[in-house]
A and B are shown apart, each in its own frame.
Chain A
Amino acid sequence: MVSKVKKSEYKVIGTRPIRHDGYDKVTGRAQYGADIKLPGMIYGAVLRSPHAHAKIKNIDTSKAENMNGVFAVMTAKDLPRLTDKQRGNSEESGSEKHLSENVMALDKVLYKGHVVAAVSANDVNTAREAIKKIIVDYEVLKPVINVDQAMDKDAPILHEDFIGDHLGKKVKNTNIATYNRYKIGNVDDAFKKCDLVVEKEVELQTVHQGYIEPHSGTAIWDEDDRVKVWTSTQGSFTNRDSVSKVLSLDVSRVKVTPMEIGGGFGGKIPVYLEPIAAVLSKKSRRPVQLVMSRTDVFDASGPAPGGKVIVKIGVDKNGKMLAGYADIRLEAGGYPEAFIEAAAKCVFSCYNIPSMDIEAYDVLVNKPSSAPYRAPGSPQVAFATETVVDEICKKLDMDLIDFRLLNVAEKGTRTALGPKYRKIGLKEVLEAAKKSDHWNSKLEKKSGNGKVRGRGIASGYWFNIGEKSAVNLSLNMDGTVILTEGSTDIGGSRASIAMQAAEVLGINAESVRPSVVDTDSIGHTDVTGGSRTTYATGYAAYKAAHMLIDEITSKAAKIWDISEDDIKYKDGIISSRTDSELNMTLREFADQNPFGPVVSSASVDLEEAAGGFGTHIVDLEIDPETGKTDVIRYTVLQDVGKAIHPSYVEGQLQGGATQGIGWALNEEYFMSDDGKMLNSSYLDYRMPIALDLPMIETVLIEVPSEDHPFGVRGVGETPICPPVPAISNAVNDAIGTRILSTPIKASKILNTLKSM
């Protein structure tokens, strides 16, 4: 059901009200994961492997168990043994066995920081002392820490019992968890017809989402065998599903209360500490809380995959793309899932290429198991594709935007995976980029202080998922509306969802009071991720608001003893179509209504929102003396479908670009040869701060989605896709050579300049 509302009729959508949770957050009253304190609560600590790859021969917990103040000690033997059964098909994939073993290693550790045991005690310090008394006998093995090492024929194997899927063939003793291929058209023939073929290989280091709030888990396993969990999560229902699987409990025995969340970007979809807190609680008969340190977060929570990507594109003499080939090798970490299917879907997504061949490898390495990070897989492949596009334009002496417009993907373009695009807005984005002030401003190549400047441009794509959401509405006696939802609010989604209900109800955004509730209090709602929340939960709010109007209409008809067909509801006023004396405000109705509470409940299960495209333009300045790069101007242009709350949309675009700039210039898991991250603190893992960046300019292009009543598309992930290639292309523009491995840090630039 999609009914169109004319743009001119919007009263709430497109405005910028103050977010409903703003006061709690700026005053510090908001309760985050570790803020929950329960009566009788004790504290846990985990023992983590110091080795990246080792067999666990024996664990002696006896000294820890006998320590004063210790309540319980657990190892993986306290968890049920799970099978290779595959889990769902959205954010949480992979086998149940691997889910459990990532929470706590059974017989092998696969990355430094992998949990091997846990303790609960009176206080954190006692728990930390106790884990030092646990003796683990390891047989240390050689680690593999990148795709080249892992795919070597003589590589140490991470999972001796794992069977890889290589184009449907079952393969033992391999670190390639999955090898897949996608083919459209006759690629070999198409490349033969090309007048120019350009191929580039790029390399990306592992990076972390860098959310401010570390992971935590608080749980009580009560006497009725029900587990209650309080945690910082992007999806309380996904969290419940994972916890129940690890503990082999029915989902009805687990209740997850999502706390406020201090950032996630995909990294707070997996579970780490919650099942451990639950088992320790069962053994201790007390509520137990565990919190990660920053080093724990870097060492042992899921980063974005590093890896290597080769892209080859062939064009005719006019610049028309005829063929594309990609080889994608991404690091899954210790357990499968490097998002290679998403990467394959995104690699040629911006272009209309008749023949495409994509090979993709999900590669196991001795690093923490990868987690989603804003458009997982897409930034990695955009780096390769947009570098090739830049190079083709230079070789053909074509304008960078005109070339993209010549080959732009549009409605009806067949994608690399096969299906055709529905209505999308990349053409409109590129046309806006061509007209933008940034693109039309002249960049002086030399700054006058010895620094050199360059400009780069790149496009990117994310497909924006749909999936399940539920919303409940309840009319208060003062005419305001309580909205309850299951989507945890990371980027202002309370406001964007409340605004959609308010638009339908014809009341202001502040008159809808949104609350994020626990898993016992709302219908199943999938994660806040995949750029789905404003789209899917917003759609549920839209439906629920219409149902609430039906309720109001029905009850108002009874109050006036007239037919429901005679009732008109508009802008929060209830009136009779035939009797001008019969009218009342929503507040008057709510106060007078004698027919019981006015409530509604709606749910949706949606498909993808037809994808979002963005194009970024960057100007940067490089100091040849030091190699330091400063971004001096940055513009994000993106098709946002319909911006419900433009400030939060702009914030998403600026945030995504900022993270992408960090990925391009500074961030990396700096690993020792034995698989240990050497920069696991914010002092050494250098993310951009406000002082590093100019104000990021945003241009919102609204090409409404055909699948949402207000045209919402999802906006949060696309903006992290173009920054790496945009900056790499700008560096090439500045110094005349390409650096095709991230991060493009000062030392690499300096070494490159010295070698020229």
Chain B
Amino acid sequence: MIKVFLPYKTRKLFDLPVEIDAEGNNLRNLIEFLDIKYPGLKQELVDDEKLKPTISAVIDGRTTRLGLIQKLDKVSEIHFLPSIAGG
């Protein structure tokens, strides 16, 4: 199982704990898994079959650049975070 950490506001909206156990061989499947467990969660993270531009997925400390096709072999934790603009 992979430990998933969702943004604070998403946790509040869905009344979720800090950590959620989930599974999936890629990010798309993991989000589908979460959506079955917590209906409606997918639309917080995904738009038009892509990660929302306002969301980043940080997988074991590294922000994926591949979006939903990111494979999740031997992954221990994923943080979904608001995207950060900077300069």
Query: B12 touching A266 by the CB < 8 A rule?
Result: no
Q: Is the CB of B86 within 8 A of A607?
A: no
Contact A180 B53 (CB under 8 A): no
Question: A421 touching B83 by the CB < 8 A rule?
Answer: no
Please judge, given known A-B contacts A87-B53, A182-B8, A183-B8, whether A607 and B65 are in contact too, CB under 8 Å: yes
A342 within 8 A of B: yes
Q: Known contacts A418-B79, A419-B79: does B87 contact A373 (CB below 8 Å)?
A: yes
Query: Min CB distance, A575 to chain B, in Å?
Result: 39
Q: Identify B9's interface contact among A88, A181, A422, CB under 8 A.
A: A181
Q: Is the CB of A529 within 8 A of B86?
A: yes
With A605-B65, A607-B64 as known contacts, state yes or no: A337 contacts B8, CB within 8 Å.
no
Q: Which of B18, B62, B85 contacts A337 (CB 8 A)?
A: B85
Chain B residues with Cβ below 8 Å from A529 are 86-87
In the complex, what residues of B have CB within 8 A of residue A377's CB?
A: 86
Q: How far is the CA of A90 from the CA of B44 in the complex (A)?
A: 19
Q: Are the C-beta atoms of B85 and A91 separated by less than 8 Å?
A: yes
Residue ID in chain B nearest A716 by CB atoms? B87
CA distance A88 to B54 in the complex (A): 8
A341–B8 touching, CB < 8 Å:
no
State in angstroms the CA–CA spacing of A73 and B65 once bound together: 43
Q: How far is the CA of A269 from the CA of B5 in the complex (A)?
A: 32
B85 touches A372 (CB 8 A): yes
Considering residues A90, A91, A337, A605, which has the most beta carbons from chain B within 10 angstroms of its beta carbon?
A90
Q: Which of A168, A265, A341 contacts B84 (CB 8 A)?
A: A341
- Flag if A606 contacts B65 (CB, 8 Å): yes
Minimum C-beta distance from A209 to chain B (A): 9
Asked if B26 is at the interface of the complex by the 8 Å CB criterion, the answer is: no
- CB of A418 within 8 A of CB of B56, answer no
Please report the C-alpha to C-alpha distance between residue A217 and residue B79 in the assembled complex, in whole angstroms: 41
Looking at B64, B79, B85, B86, the one whose CB has the most chain A CB atoms below 10 A away is B86
Q: Assess the B84–A342 pair: CB atoms within 8 A.
A: yes
- What is the 8 Å Cβ interface bit string for chain A, positions 168-183, against chain B (1 contact, 0 not)? 1000000000001111
How far is A649 from B62 in the complex, measured between Cα atoms in Å?
Answer: 26
CA separation between A99 and B81, bound complex, in Å?
A: 24
Chain B residue, CB-CB nearest to A462? B86
A101 to chain B: closest CB distance in Å?
18
Cβ A371 vs Cβ B87 within 8 A? yes
Residue contact A167 to B9, C-beta cutoff 8 Å? yes
Q: How far is the CA of A88 from the CA of B86 in the complex (A)?
A: 12
- Note all chain A residues with C-beta closer than 8 A to B18: 183
User: Across the interface, do B61 and A530 meet the contact criterion of CB distance under 8 Å?
Assistant: no
Q: Can you name the residue of chain B whose Cβ is closest to the Cβ of A93?
A: B85
B58 contacts partner chain A, Cβ-Cβ < 8 Å = yes
* Closest B residue by C-beta to A377: B86
Q: How far is the CB of A216 from chain B (nearest CB, A)?
A: 20
**Residues of chain B at interface, number, CB under 8 A:** 29
Name the residue on B nearest A269 (C-beta). Answer: B87
Give bound CA distance, A551 to B7, whole Å: 47
Q: Does B25 contact A (CB under 8 A)?
A: no
Residue-wise interface mask of A (408-447) relative to B, using a CB-CB cutoff of 8 A (1 in contact, 0 not)? 0000000001111110000000000000000000000000
* Interface bits A599-611 vs B (CB < 8 Å: 1, else 0): 0000001111000
Per-residue 0/1 for A626-637: is the Cβ within 8 Å of any B Cβ (1 yes, 0 no)? 000000000000
With an 8 A cutoff between CB atoms, is A20 at the interface? no
Verify A342–B85 contact, CB threshold 8 A. yes
Among A183, A339, A375, A608: residue with most chain B CB under 10 A: A608
List the A side residues contacting B52 at CB < 8 Å: 86
Instruction: Give min CB distance, A119 to chain B, whole Å.
Output: 32
Q: Is the beta-carbon distance between A376 and B79 smaller than 8 angstroms?
A: no
Q: Check if B82 is an interface residue, CB within 8 A of chain A.
A: yes
**Residues of B contacting A345 with CB < 8 Å?**
84
> Per a CB cutoff under 8 Å, which of A341, A375, A530 touches B82?
A341
Contact B79 A168 (CB under 8 A): no
Interface string of B1-43 (1 = CB under 8 A from A): 0000101111011000010000000000000000000000000
Interface status of A463 (Cβ within 8 A of chain B):
yes
Contact digits for A87-100, partner B, Cβ 8 Å, 1 yes 0 no: 11111110000000
User: B44 — nearest CB in chain A belongs to which residue?
Assistant: A168
Chain A residues whose CB sits within 8 angstroms of the CB of B7 once the complex forms: 180
Residues of B within 8 A of A167 (CB): 8-9, 12-13
Residues of chain A within 8 A (CB-CB) of B9 are 165, 167-168, 180-181
A499 at the A/B interface (Cβ < 8 Å)?
Answer: no
Task: Confirm or deny: A374 has a beta carbon within 8 angstroms of a beta carbon on chain B.
Answer: yes
> Does A465 lie at the interface of the complex (its beta carbon under 8 Å from any beta carbon of B)?
yes
Q: Mark A327-359, 1 if CB is under 8 A from B, else 0.
A: 000000000010101100100000000000000
Cβ-defined contact, A376 with B87, below 8 A:
yes
Residue of B nearest to A345 (CB): B84
User: Which of A181, A467, A605 lies at the interface centre, i.e. has the most chain B CB atoms within 10 A of its CB?
Assistant: A181
- Closest chain A CB from B12 CB (angstroms): 6
CB-nearest residue of chain A relative to B54? A86
A-chain residues with CB within 8 Å of residue B10 when the two chains form the complex: 168
Q: How far is the CB of A187 from chain B (nearest CB, A)?
A: 12
Q: How far is the CA of A747 from the CA of B65 in the complex (A)?
A: 49
Residues of B within 8 A of A91 (CB): 85-87
Partner of B86, one of A372, A417, A422: A372
Q: Which of A266, A419, A465 has the most chain B CB within a 10 Å cutoff?
A: A419
**Which residues of B does A touch, CB under 8 Å?**
5, 7-10, 12-13, 18, 44, 52-56, 58, 61-65, 77, 79, 81-87
3 tightest Cβ-Cβ pairs between the two chains A and B: A372-B87, A266-B87, A89-B83
- What are some 19 contacts across the A-B interface (CB < 8 A)? A89-B53, A89-B84, A90-B85, A93-B53, A93-B54, A167-B9, A167-B13, A168-B9, A168-B44, A180-B8, A180-B82, A269-B87, A341-B83, A376-B86, A418-B58, A419-B77, A422-B62, A463-B84, A530-B86
With A91-B87, A168-B13 known, 18 other A-B pairs at CB within 8 A are A86-B54, A89-B53, A89-B84, A89-B85, A181-B8, A182-B8, A183-B8, A337-B85, A341-B83, A342-B84, A418-B5, A422-B61, A527-B87, A530-B87, A605-B65, A607-B62, A608-B63, A717-B87
